[in-house]
Structure 1
Amino acid sequence: MDNKKTKCLIIHGFGGGVHEVKPLAEYLTALGYDVVCPILKGHSTTRHEMKKSTYMDWIDSAERELLRLKEIGEEILLIGFSMGGLITFNLACKYDIKGIVTINTPIFYWNIYQVFRNIADDMKNKKPNHIKRYLQAKKISPFLSMIQFLLLLHQTKPKLKEINCPILIIQAEDDDTVRRKSVDYINKHVSSDRKKIKYFPKGGHLILLSPTAEQVMLCIEDFLQM
């Protein structure tokens, strides 16, 4: 992909924000790509605003930016982190997309075994980093919003067969939020002729904020140059 033509739309995850994908956005911008990272409606605001937003609002937030990018260029790469990957599938069903990258995107969620391992590591190291993240996630994810996430997941799964563009599926093997078999499901159900899977042993769910981030970004750079 020509970096002077390709536009990158990076979509953050459920209950998160642009900070989750910022390192990747900065990396691709430095390479010369036009990069946009929309804030999904209700996110990065208050719990009350989050409760008022629906999964259709989240898709619309990304779609508006996609249409804006299409005004200045036809070649669009969609990059979805976590739930953002589900949104990329919805957009790719409606528009001509150059390619898709999903990063730790859930079809099957909550790796309970890894959660307990993380909590045990926190207790062993006396550094409650994971525990703080779990509590924070509970705080910013109202029950109604979780229902909207489940609705998004439910209505997205049948659309995978409509995905025909090249796709790169990235997954951290120690992800506590997304189970590894999500990758198998996506790979099996998308209709793309060009599919690539890349596993990383370490990095966790927030892999773009981990020491593995550079490897992930190099992998995406290679995909962009296909």
Structure 2
Amino acid sequence: MERREVMNGAEEIRFEGNEVGILVSHGFTGTTQSMKLLAEAYAREGYTVYCPRLKGHGTSPEDMEATTHEDWVNSVEEAYRWLRDRCSKIFVVGLSMGGTLALYMASKHRDIAGVIPINAAVDIPALASSAGAKERFLDAIGSDIKNPEIVELAYDRTPVRSIGELVNLMDKVKDRLDEIHCPIMVFVSDEDHVVPPHNSEVVFESVFSEHKEIIHLENSYHVATLDLDQDMIIERSLEFFQTYTNTK
């Protein structure tokens, strides 16, 4: 199979720093571009950061169509292992499906020190009907951003087969939310045209974390990491890392 080139700006992001690792995950049909400014901000504070390019992303919709949700899980698992070799504590941060993957990791790896899902997807009934569409591709879902000056680097089409894989992943993670016990900070945009804000409420209510907080973003749409609340997300997540790095 011919290997397609990675889009400029969609490459994986890695910074080697101290013994605290931050695993950062982008979302469905998106790229590392949506998480780059967060990753760089974390690295400036000395953290070791890895934002992988999820398999099938950042190249072509046809590549994505050939991958499964297990492939996406494996992408973050590989990043986790890289961080585990270098770090004594690991936090996980993710946007949209990246948030779903972050929740999965927190449910599976009890050594994860904390998780920050941003507009994570766990329950979107309308997606199931889209997964049954007869077309091969549907319209793009990227770039749901309030700031008119910013554009997300994402696919211009959405593979129908991949929507089915996302539904499978959401179902799996929703069933595992009660396995999450680590500290959690949930970011949710009050207006989101991709993932209904109710998803974040489900996450917040379902996890068994003793320390949990939900933060409402009033000035961002779905891709909040590129939107007008970006600075607040960075500031609050850095406070979260500092707080839970200093606790056992």
TM range (shorter): 0.7 to 0.9
User: What amino acid is aligned across from residue 74 of structure 2 in structure 1?
Assistant: D
Which residue does 2:230 correspond to in 1? 213
Residue pair 2:124, 2:195 contacting (<8 A) in 1 also: yes
The answer to whether the aligner puts 1:196 opposite 2:177 as a matched pair is no
Note the 1:53-92 alignment, pairs <5 A: 53-92=67-106
Structure 1: which 5+ residue stretches go unaligned? 112-121
Which residue does 1:33 correspond to in 2? 47
The answer to whether the aligner puts 1:103 opposite 2:118 as a matched pair is yes
Residue pair 2:95, 2:225 contacting (<8 A) in 1 also: no
Which residue does 1:144 correspond to in 2? 161
User: What amino acid is aligned across from residue 156 of structure 1 in structure 2?
Assistant: V
SS at match of 2:187: strand
Q: Find the aligned partners of 1:200 and 1:101 in 2 and give their Cα distance.
A: 14
Higher deviation after alignment, 101-110 or 49-58:
101-110
Which residue does 1:225 correspond to in 2? 242
Please state how far the C-alpha of 1:219 moved relative to its aligned partner. 1.0
The answer to whether the aligner puts 1:16 opposite 2:30 as a matched pair is yes
Structure 2: which 5+ residue stretches go unaligned? 1-16, 127-145, 244-248
Please state how far the C-alpha of 1:74 moved relative to its aligned partner. 2.5
Q: 1:110/1:153 Cα in 2 relative to 1: closer, same or farther (>3 Å)?
A: closer
Identity of aligned residues (%): 29
Query: Which residue of 177, 199, 216 corresponds with 1:160?
Result: 177
User: What amino acid is aligned across from residue 198 of structure 2 in structure 1?
Assistant: K
Which residue does 1:115 correspond to in 2? none
Post-superposition Cα deviations, 1:156-211, rounded to whole Å, max 9, x if no partner, equal 11100000100000011122112121121111111110101111101111111112
**RMSD, aligned CA:** 2.3
Q: 1:106/1:94 Cα in 2 relative to 1: closer, same or farther (>3 Å)?
A: closer
Residue pair 2:95, 2:118 contacting (<8 A) in 1 also: yes
Residue pair 1:110, 1:177 contacting (<8 A) in 2 also: no
Displaced runs of 4 or more, over 6 A:
none
Q: Find the aligned partners of 1:34 and 1:193 in 2 and give their Cα distance.
A: 26
User: What amino acid is aligned across from residue 58 of structure 1 in structure 2?
Assistant: W
Q: Find the aligned partners of 1:68 and 1:177 in 2 and give their Cα distance.
A: 31
User: Between Structure 1 and Structure 2, which shows a larger proportion of helix residues?
Assistant: 1
Paired positions, count: 205
Which residue does 2:63 correspond to in 1? 49
**TM-score, length of structure 1 as denominator length:** 0.84
Q: Find the aligned partners of 2:175 and 2:124 in 1 and give their Cα distance.
A: 17
SS at match of 1:225: helix
**TM-score, length of structure 2 as denominator length:** 0.77
Residue pair 2:180, 2:209 contacting (<8 A) in 1 also: yes
